[in-house]
Structure 1
Amino acid sequence: MTVIYFVRHAHSYYTADEYHRPLSDKGFNDRDRVTSIFTNKEIHTIYSSPYKRAVQTVEGIAQEHKLQITTIDSMKERILSTENILDFDAAMHQVWSQPTFVFEGGESNETAKARAITALQKIIIGHPNDNIVIGTHGNIMVLMMQYFDAEYDYTFWKKLSMPDVYQLTFEQSVLCDIRRVWEE
Structure 2
Amino acid sequence: MQTEIYFIRHAESNYNNHDDLERELTSKGLTDRELVTNYLSDKNIEIVLSSPYKRAIDTVKHFADKHNMDIEKIEDFRERKIDSCWVEDFKEFSKSQWNDFKYKLSDGECLEEVQSRNIAALQKVLKTHSGKKIIVGSHGTALSTIINYYDKSFGYEDFASIKNLMPWVVKFIFEGNTCIKIEKINLFL
Task: Give the TM-score band, short-chain normalised.
Answer: over 0.9
CA offsets, 1:47-82, max 9 Å, x none?
Answer: 101110000000111123221000111111001122
TM-score (normalised: structure 2): 0.94
The secondary structure found in structure 1 opposite 2:21 is helix
Superposed displacement of residue 116, structure 1: 1.0
- What is aligned with 1:12? 13
Instruction: Note if contact 1:39-1:64 (Cα within 8 Å) is conserved in structure 2.
Output: no
2: CA distance between counterparts of 1:135 and 1:50? Answer: 9
2: CA distance between counterparts of 1:159 and 1:30? Answer: 19
- What is aligned with 2:119? 117
CA offsets, 1:63-107, max 9 Å, x none?
Answer: 232210001111110011223423110000001101111111000
Residue 183, structure 1, aligned to residue 181, structure 2: no
For 2:186, the aligned partner's letter is W
1: CA distance between counterparts of 2:45 and 2:109? Answer: 32
- What is aligned with 2:132? 130
Superposed displacement of residue 153, structure 1: 1.7
- What is aligned with 1:171? 175
Which structure 1 residue ranges, 4+ long, deviate > 3 Å from structure 2? none
Unaligned runs of 5+ in 1: none
The secondary structure found in structure 2 opposite 1:115 is helix
1: CA distance between counterparts of 2:146 and 2:79? Answer: 11
Instruction: Note if contact 1:79-1:107 (Cα within 8 Å) is conserved in structure 2.
Output: yes
* 1:65-76 map, 5 Å: 65-76=67-78
TM-score (normalised: structure 1): 0.96
Q: How many residues align?
A: 184
Identity of aligned residues (%): 33
Unaligned runs of 5+ in 2: none
1: CA distance between counterparts of 2:106 and 2:91? Answer: 17
